[in-house]
A and B are shown apart, each in its own frame.
Chain A
Amino acid sequence: MASVRISELCAEIDAKVHVPGDMDREVERAAVGDLLSFVMGSDADGAAWITVQTHLNVAAVAVLKDIPIIIIASGREPAADLFERCRAEGIALVSAAASVFDTCVKLGRLGISG
């Protein structure tokens, strides 16, 4: 398992950075899910979170799970209030043009595990 800086992770997935958060923080794991209760109930604590949900409640879950970076995949863009909340909470918010699957593959290449 590798520790990867968020800035490095963003470069790998060619992310559009909406909120930088703490780009020097490192993550080892990633989680995928669009059902918020699924992510809440999972062991996603501290992981990078890949989702296609774009609304404000995504930030609420990220805060509760200590998730340092939200990656919105498949070319979707975050809602304005999600952007604002992430900025207030210091959570990195980025989007990726690639699909959820392709984004995961790229993170896997960096040594990030599930």
Chain B
Amino acid sequence: MADPIHLEYEVAADDYQAAGAASNSVKETLKMLGLPTAISRRAAIITYEAEMNLVIHGGGGKIVANIDEESVELMTIDEGPGIPDVEKAVQEGFTTAGDRAREMGFGAGMGLPNIKRNADVFEIFTEVGTGTTLRTVINLP
């Protein structure tokens, strides 16, 4: 890979119809670059869950992917309500999702745990009323 690759996707609030588009694009890009399937699978899970978090909780936002020879960095940036208690939010089973999301099979409190499990670096920067940035890195073999 010669030059680092930078991708950006806008995700709209409550847009369940478009959900999965960014994750699919990230996955396809990684596949095209010839990265191992295990890596593209992990990136797909992280991006999908992050995408859904923007749709359900973040009031929409942006997904950024930076790919170079050493790692895949995936970030989501939103200007949503922020996370009052990050420790709780990353606990399996904890959710603040509403009925609509739950009926569709989201909001089981598995999103952030799924992301954490698939990332080598997992960081959340959040402020109530200002927004949340999630940064994850997958190290390449």
- Given the known A-B contacts A40-B49, A41-B114, are A64 and B105 also in contact in the complex, defined by CB atoms under 8 Å? no
Interface SS, A side = helix
What residues of B have a CB within 8 angstroms of the CB of A57 in the complex? 16, 19-20, 104-106
Chain B proximity mask over A9-31: 1 for CB below 8 Å, otherwise 0: 00000000000000000000000
Q: How large is the interface on B (under 10, 10 to 19, 20 to 34, 35 or more residues)?
A: 20 to 34
Instruction: Flag if A63 contacts B105 (CB, 8 Å).
Output: no
B58 within 8 A of A: no
- Given the known A-B contacts A35-B110, A56-B17, are A40 and B48 also in contact in the complex, defined by CB atoms under 8 Å? yes
Q: Closest residue of chain A to B51, judged by CB?
A: A60
Return 24 A-B CB contacts under 8 Å, by A number.
A35-B105, A35-B106, A36-B104, A37-B106, A37-B108, A38-B108, A40-B45, A40-B48, A40-B49, A40-B114, A41-B110, A41-B113, A41-B114, A56-B16, A57-B16, A57-B19, A57-B105, A59-B20, A60-B21, A60-B48, A63-B20, A64-B27, A64-B44, A65-B44
